[in-house]
Homo-oligomer: A and B are copies of this chain.
Amino acid sequence: MAPTYLSNDRAAVDSFLDKFDVFLIDCDGVLWSGDHVYDGIPETIAMLRAKGKRTVFVTNNSTKSREEYLKKLSKLNIPADAEDIFGSAYSSAVYISRILKLPQGKNKVFILGEKGIESELDAENVPHIGGTDPNFKRDITDADFKGLADGSLLDPEVGVVLAGLDYHFNYLKVAHGLHYLKRGAKFLATNTDSTLPMHHDFFLGAGSVMAPLVNASGQKPLELGKPSQAMMDAVEGKFQLNRQRTCMIGDRLNTDIKFGVDGKLGGTLHVLTGVDNKAAWEKEDAIAVPSFYADTLSDLRIAE
C-alpha cells in the first residue's frame, strides 16, 4: 500500500497522532545534520510530549554515549530525558555483557570506534582495548607487522571485535582487528550504515569505516543497531511498549523503516530530510516501504 503523505494535511496528521503512544525517533537526518538542527524540531518534540506521547531517540550513531547524546539534545533545545535515549553503543554493550557473557580471561573487547562505545562498555563493566587509545594513532611499522603476524602484539584476552563509526581508523587499528578476528574473536558491529549525514552532505558511516575489516577477513559482523531486531527487543524490554501503538520515524529505509517493519510496529514514518528520498520506496525492489511520509518531522506541527 502506498504511504500516506502527512505534510500540509491537518486531518492526516491528527489521525496519525491518534494511532500512536510512542514514537521511536532516529536522530541524524531526522532531527539534525551534524550540528545543524532542522527548523522547528525542538518545537515538534515539545508538541508530541505535550500531547502525552513518549519520544524515544533510537540512534545508530555509536560515537556518543547516552549521556553525551543528552547533552547534544539539550544544547539543540530538544526536550529529552536520559532514559529516553537508546543508542547502538548502549545496545551493543548490553548484548555483550548480558547475552554473550564471555568467559573470564576471554572477555575483552577490541574497539574500532569512538568514546561512546568505551563509555557504554564501562557502564556495563566490560573490559576493552583499542578505541581512542592514543597508542593506535600512528603509522604501522615493520615491527607491528611482525608482532601481529606472530601474535606477540595481541592481547590473548580479546574475545570480541566491536566496530562502529570511527573517525580515527587507520591501517594499524584495522590490522589489529583483523588479527583478532583471525584468532577467533566474535565480530560485532554497533551498526553498518554506509553513510553519515553531516552538513547537508554524506560522509563515511560505520559500515564504510569497518569495510576494510569485512573485506580482508571475509566475515560479516553481527549488527546490533537498527534494523537488527536484537535492538528492537532491547527497546521493547526497556520501555514496555505496545508495538501496535508505536511508530518508528526515520530517514533511511534500510535501517529505520526496515527496523519498524520487521519489528511489526503499528506504523513507520519516513521523513525526507536525510539519506533516502521517495524514489527509494517507490521502486519495485524497495527494501522496506513506510506507512507514512512527510517532507520533514516539523510538518507534524500542523496539529499544534
Binding site for B on A (CB under 8 A): 34-35, 139-140, 142, 145-146, 148-150, 166-171, 174-175, 178-179, 182, 194-195, 198-205, 207-209, 211-216, 218
Q: What CA separation (Å) do A17 and B27 show in the bound complex?
A: 65
Contact among B170, B178, B218 for A170, CB-based, below 8 A: B170
Q: What CA separation (Å) do A218 and B276 show in the bound complex?
A: 14
Q: What CA separation (Å) do A201 and B149 show in the bound complex?
A: 6
Contact among B35, B182, B211 for A212, CB-based, below 8 A: B211
Q: Are A216 and B198 in contact (CB under 8 A)?
A: no
Would you mind naming 26 contact pairs between A and B with Cβ atoms under 8 Å apart? A34-B145, A139-B167, A139-B168, A140-B167, A146-B199, A148-B201, A149-B200, A166-B171, A169-B171, A174-B204, A174-B208, A175-B203, A178-B203, A178-B204, A194-B215, A194-B216, A194-B218, A202-B216, A208-B211, A208-B213, A208-B215, A208-B216, A211-B211, A211-B212, A211-B214, A212-B212
Most buried by B among A167, A199, A211: A211
Residue in B closest to A166 when the chains form the complex, CB atoms: B171
When A and B form their complex, which 4 residue pairs have the shortest distance between CB atoms, in order from nearest? A211-B211, A149-B201, A149-B199, A208-B216
Which B residues are CB-close (under 8 A) to A148? 201, 203
Q: State the Cβ distance, A62 to closest chain B Cβ, in Å.
A: 15
Residue in B closest to A168 when the chains form the complex, CB atoms: B139
Q: State the Cβ distance, A27 to closest chain B Cβ, in Å.
A: 17
Which B residues are CB-close (under 8 A) to A167? 139-140, 171
Which B residues are CB-close (under 8 A) to A140? 167
Which B residues are CB-close (under 8 A) to A145? 34, 198-199, 203
Q: Are B170 and A168 in contact (CB under 8 A)?
A: yes
Most buried by B among A150, A178, A204: A204
Q: What CA separation (Å) do A202 and B174 show in the bound complex?
A: 12
Q: What CA separation (Å) do A120 and B201 show in the bound complex?
A: 34
Q: What CA separation (Å) do A194 and B203 show in the bound complex?
A: 23
Which B residues are CB-close (under 8 A) to A212? 204, 208-209, 211-212
Which B residues are CB-close (under 8 A) to A169? 170-171
Q: What CA separation (Å) do A205 and B200 show in the bound complex?
A: 33
Contact among B149, B195, B199, B204 for A171, CB-based, below 8 A: B204
Contact among B139, B146, B178, B207 for A215, CB-based, below 8 A: B207
